[in-house]
Structure 1
Amino acid sequence: MLPVILKVGRVEISSMGLMLVIGVLMGLFVAWKKAKESHVEDKFFLDSAFMSLFWGLVGARVGYILTHFGEFGFSLLKWLWLSNYVGLCWWGGLIAGVGYLWWRLRDSEEDVFLWLDYVSLGVAAALPWGFLAAFLNGSYLGAETQGWWGVNFPGYEMKLVPVQLIMLVISSVFFLWWWRMEGEYRTLSWYRAGRVAARTGFLWFGWLVFLGLSFSMASLFRGEQTQVFGVALDMVMGLLLIGIGVVGIYQRSGRRFWEDISRLKRRKGRQETFKK
């Protein structure tokens, strides 16, 4: 599509690199803005954010190497030479970045789930730029199609499903909705479960559900994908995130499973009595 967006002499600016930088800056700004509203110190936020980004990058590289080990083997040169042996794994970056943040905050007085809410908004803001980068770079390709919605990509005879553009639109709409939900989820009676104040973590776990749904659905329309025991990695991770997100929202709502079951039984009993 447009892998190089600007070239001056021998200096090239790739569309992928530029879009990712814009996405990271956008995500940092959104997360910082929300952290500022919670009176988090700028220095502590920036230290945590940039170190999370660093370890996220390390995790993304390690994840890609592990899922493409046949290409890299035990060659340290290939592992570190990013310009010649390109490749990052989104899932590895997410796990490593969030894992570091959790470790950093575990012994502090900060609300970890509130910080994860910041992360969800920040990454949600950055994600559309990542899909735009994939489209311009010709990566994250869809399956071949003969439909009118197909797009011609260089090097392919048939049209491909523009998964990147579809995910770009979906993730953009989701971010706008989730930004609004940040100010509204505390009023949701089903989430508060009778509490005076709603617990933090709703945005984080809700975002995981969205992430799982969107990536697992997108994997159905993808072309060649990384496989885990014969199943697409995006599908495996997507279903896993859906499960974690649903359980997380339920747990953070303060509900108790057996109490809810008892309540449903009592309601059902009242309905049957009323029918009689």
Structure 2
Amino acid sequence: MYPVLLELGPVTVHSYGLMIALGFVAVILGLRRRAHEIGVEPNDTLDISLLAIVFGMIGARLYYVFIYDFSHYVQNPLDVFAFNQGGLVFHGGLILGTLAVIIYLRIKKVSIVETADIAALLIPVAYAFGRLGCFLNGCCHGIATESFWGVSFGEFTASTYHPTQLYLVALAIGIYGFILWQRPRRTFGGQGFLSYIIIYSVGRFLIEFLRTNPEVFGVFTAAQITSVILICIACGLMPLMRRRFGYEEEDDGSENVEEESTTA
């Protein structure tokens, strides 16, 4: 593995940090490029991107603190801020980052559902970069395997392990392709984001069986329980949002968004 990509005197470039940074850049540039689709100026998208990134990082950290090692952080509260020691969980970042952006968009009267559908394209890209960082760093690998595609991660007991980081990268790429294909075919605002939540959660639930995360809820991991909850929420919202933000077909067959969706 390559946890350190480059060392120039006192400057050390870590692979994980670089990949995370590239993911953030992809979100910022991607949202800026699609600013006209949500009716805002390109420069205004920076606030949305930074809000999602900052609260996403906070949420990812808090999820890890409360779910995986709460007793340690109760005894060592300052370690909560030690991001360099690892401990970020994507589900936590997705949840808190989404809530923060929803509140901001509501205040600014920018369409929440249309912004969410753009996010459904950008999040998988950033996620893929992050998982590539995990792979290069040698963390978050799967259980031992003798399969020919197994990867050696160095200082562990077994010879090769499932490269679940790459499985998740493949999942993210597949989701991106599907959401991109679905985008002109949507029947209601928010359909892309809900589709992303469902597909990612199903894929994550299955891949989790090959990972080494501790089972905190009986035979299931915290990520699997969270995935099931998100699937239920997204499936429950589908018919409600179809009624609330459905697109009407005009006489020429084109689609337009209902007026209320611009301020949802």
Tell me whether 1:215 sits opposite 2:216 in the alignment.
no
Q: Which residue of 2 aligns with 1:44?
A: 44
What SS does the aligned partner of 2:114 have?
helix
Q: Which residue of 2 aligns with 1:165?
A: 166
Deviations 1:201-224 (A, max 9, x none): 000100000111111011111123
1:142-153 to structure 2, matched below 5 A, reads: 142-153=142-153
2:44 & 2:239 partners in 1: Cα distance? 30
Distance 1:142 1:9, change over 3 A: same
Deviations 1:157-203 (A, max 9, x none): 33111111122122113212312321222xxxxxxxxxxxx320000
Aligned length: 242
Gaps of 5+ in 1: 186-197, 256-276
**Offset of 1:74 from its aligned partner?**
4.1
Q: Which residue of 1 aligns with 2:241?
A: 252
What SS does the aligned partner of 2:2 have?
coil
Q: Give the residue type in structure 2 aligned to 1:15.
A: S
**Offset of 1:226 from its aligned partner?**
5.9
Q: Give the residue type in structure 1 aligned to 2:194.
A: F
Assess if the C-alpha contact under 8 Å between 2:6 and 2:13 holds in 1: yes
Assess if the C-alpha contact under 8 Å between 2:213 and 2:221 holds in 1: no
Distance 1:32 1:72, change over 3 A: same
Q: Which residue of 1 aligns with 2:106?
A: 106
Q: Which residue of 1 aligns with 2:128?
A: 128
Q: Which residue of 2 aligns with 1:89?
A: 89
Q: Give the residue type in structure 2 aligned to 1:71.
A: H
Distance 1:158 1:71, change over 3 A: farther
What SS does the aligned partner of 2:139 have?
coil
Gaps of 5+ in 2: 245-264
Moved over 3 A (4+): none
**Offset of 1:76 from its aligned partner?**
3.2
Tell me whether 1:24 sits opposite 2:13 in the alignment.
no
What SS does the aligned partner of 1:7 have?
strand
Q: Give the residue type in structure 2 aligned to 1:50.
A: L
Worse-matched range after superposition: 212-221 or 37-46: 37-46
Q: Give the residue type in structure 1 aligned to 2:6.
A: L
Q: Which residue of 2 aligns with 1:267?
A: none
Worse-matched range after superposition: 162-171 or 15-24: 162-171
Assess if the C-alpha contact under 8 Å between 1:226 and 1:233 holds in 2: yes
Tell me whether 1:235 sits opposite 2:224 in the alignment.
yes
TM-score (norm 2): 0.84
Distance 1:183 1:33, change over 3 A: farther
Assess if the C-alpha contact under 8 Å between 1:208 and 1:244 holds in 2: no
Which structure would you say has the larger Rg? 1
What SS does the aligned partner of 2:86 have?
coil
**Offset of 1:230 from its aligned partner?**
5.3
2:215 & 2:62 partners in 1: Cα distance? 14
**Offset of 1:86 from its aligned partner?**
2.5
What SS does the aligned partner of 1:121 have?
helix
Q: CA RMSD in A?
A: 1.9
1:152 & 1:86 partners in 2: Cα distance? 21
Distance 1:207 1:233, change over 3 A: same
Assess if the C-alpha contact under 8 Å between 1:29 and 1:122 holds in 2: no
2:57 & 2:163 partners in 1: Cα distance? 26
What SS does the aligned partner of 2:13 have?
strand
TM-score (norm 1): 0.81
Q: Give the residue type in structure 2 aligned to 1:105.
A: L
Distance 1:15 1:184, change over 3 A: same
Q: Give the residue type in structure 1 aligned to 2:7.
A: K
**Offset of 1:234 from its aligned partner?**
1.4
